[in-house]
Structures are given as C-alpha cells and as structure tokens.
Amino acid sequence: MTDNTLEENETIEMKLLLEAIHLKYGYNFKDYANAHTKRRLRNRLKMSGMTTYTDMMRRIIYDEPFFNELLMDLSINVTEMFRDPWFYLKVREELIPRLKTYSFIKVWHAGCSAGQEVYSMSILLEEEGMKKRSQVYATDFNELILEKAKAGIYPLDVMKTYTSNYQKAGGTGDFSDYYTADDKNVILKRGLREKVLFSSHNLVTDGVFGEMHLIFCRNVLIYFNRKLQNQVLQLFYDSLIPGGYLCLGSKESLKFTDFTDRFDVVSKKEKIYRKKLMAE
C-alpha cells in the first residue's frame, strides 16, 4: 500500500471512530482541528497496545472508562492560575475600570478546565471590590474536570508558579491568604466560590448564556477548525450584551473569522475584544 492510501485509510477509520463517539456519548469532535485530533488518537492507540482504530472503536463503545481516558486526551485540560500574568494585569488595569461602570456584571468562563482561571478572576474581582456585584458562570464539557474545578484543590508543587503569576498580574494582597495547605495540596478558600456557578456545557452542542458582560474563552478555540470557531463565536456574540467583552487565549484571535467586523479590539496582544454597540 502507498503512503497516500495508508493515510487515506487512517483518515476514514478516524472519522468512523469520531462518529461512534458522537453516537454513543454525544460528544462531537468532528470539527476539532485535524492535526490535534490525529495526534491524540495516534498516541492513545499506541499506549493502548491495539493496532487499529477499528479495534479501538469497539473498545470505546463497550468500555466507558477507556472512553473517559480518551476524553481527557481530546479535551486537553492544561491550565494554571493567572496564566499569562500580563493578560490578567491588563484585565485589572483596563477592563475592570470599564466594568465598574455597571452596577452588576455577569461573567462566563467557557472551557474553564479545573477552575484555575475562574479562581484567578474571583481573586481579582475580590481585590477590586467587584465580587459582591458579580455572578460568575464556569462551564466545561468534561464533567470529570468540572468536579476538580468545584473542589478547588491543587497540588502544592504548582504553587510557586501560581504565586509568581499572581504577583506579576498585579495582585494586591498576599497570595497565601487565599488558601490553606496540607503536606500535598492547597485548598482554595471557600469564599472564592461564593459567586461561581459551575455547570456542564458543551460549546459545540449547547446554547446561549444570556446577557454576559464578559466572556473568557481562553485556549479552547485553538483546538477547533475554522467552521467550528465561527459557530462558537456566534454563540458568544449572542451571549454578550452590546459593549460586552470577549477574552481569547494568546494564540487565538478574531482575525480571519466571520466576527472581525463585529468586535472592536480593546487590546491586541492580550486578545481582548468588545462587541460593537450596534450591528453595522
């Protein structure tokens, strides 16, 4: 068989496997970026000791714990507190003063992973005196990771990075005031969860969250193909109030999407956008 035929056959098998996942578990990965999906499926195949995607598909259908492992691979949950501290500094210095003009704000963290982004923002809102007049929604489609987000317990060894990020992000307090620690983990203070509602939400298949002032969707769109990016951006556009803000990840942008003209750029480097007040 030529290399081309092999590649073609692999693509067919992968498509069938993604179809099986959709049919059996309702997760739709068909419009995720091709290279990303391929890499993850190839890795899982190698690690599982199976030789074909057709074998793997059978295992996925009949063995839910095995599917959950693959779900972890495909969903990529890498995150940290105050990730890209310069971004949070910009939020503090530029966005917060604008948001303070509202008597109440609604914030949506879409694709919140294990919650670090949400708690970073909770700290920021608290330090800026905005916590009491905010409601925060934190969603992810991966229910296993969402449980971790609700718990707010993180390994002790990441705290050095988180503390340094907090300081670079303009933190005004002492980071250690926000958690208690045992010999392995830190447990974030319950108060940081006060205004946060965690819930399962799939950006591919679920609907709008109404009247948001601010949406964070950082490091999620990068895994979607252009068609799916546009579909999800429409969801965000419909969920934002006119003049509401959208924050993307450092490698993401509205450039080359259908939404470049419907948002103003607030901050190019930090990927902060504002929904135009009136549709043009």
Ligand X SMILES: C[S@@+](CC[C@H](N)C(=O)[O-])C[C@H]1O[C@@H](n2cnc3c(N)ncnc32)[C@H](O)[C@@H]1O
Binding site for ligand X (CB under 6 A): 75-79, 83, 111-113, 117, 140-142, 145, 202-204, 218-220, 249
User: Minimum CB separation from ligand X for residue 249, in Å?
Assistant: 6
Amino acid at 112: C
User: Minimum CB separation from ligand X for residue 280, in Å?
Assistant: 29
Within its chain, how far is the Cα of 106 from the centroid? 17
CB-nearer residue toward ligand X: 11 or 205: 205
CB-nearer residue toward ligand X: 106 or 201: 201
CB-nearer residue toward ligand X: 23 or 279: 23
- Residue 94 CA to residue 271 CA, distance in Å, equals 13
Strand order of the sheet with strand 179-181? Answer: 153-155, 185-188, 179-181
**What letter would DSSP give residue 141?**
S
User: Minimum CB separation from ligand X for residue 50, in Å?
Assistant: 24
User: Minimum CB separation from ligand X for residue 114, in Å?
Assistant: 7
CB-nearer residue toward ligand X: 267 or 276: 267
Q: Cα torsion at 96, 101, 104, 107 (round to 10°)?
A: -30
